[in-house]
Amino acid sequence: MMAPSIRKPTSHPAPRTQHPEPSRTFKVVLAYDGTDFSGFQRQSNARSVQQALEEALAPIEGRAVVVSGAGRTDSGVHALGQVASFKLSNAISAPDLKLALNAAFNATSSTDVRVLGSTAIGL
Helix (H) or strand (E) holding 106: helix 94-107
What's the pTM? 0.80
In sequence order, which residues have a C-beta less than 8 Å from that of residue 43 and are 6 or more positions away?
51
In sequence order, which residues have a C-beta less than 8 Å from that of residue 93 and are 6 or more positions away?
120
The type of residue at 26 is F
Q: Where are the domains of the chain?
A: 24-121
- Considering Cα of 57, then 30, then 74, then 33, what sign does the dihedral take? negative
**Any idea which residues carry the catalytic annotation?**
74
Is 24-121 CATH 3.30.70.580? Answer: yes
Dist. CA 54–CA 69, nearest whole Å: 11
State the DSSP code for 71. S
Per-residue pLDDT of the chain (123 residues; tens, 9 = 90+): 566 656 555 555 555 444 456 799 999 999 999 999 999 999 999 999 999 999 999 999 999 999 999 888 889 899 999 999 999 999 999 999 999 999 999 998 678 999 999 999 975
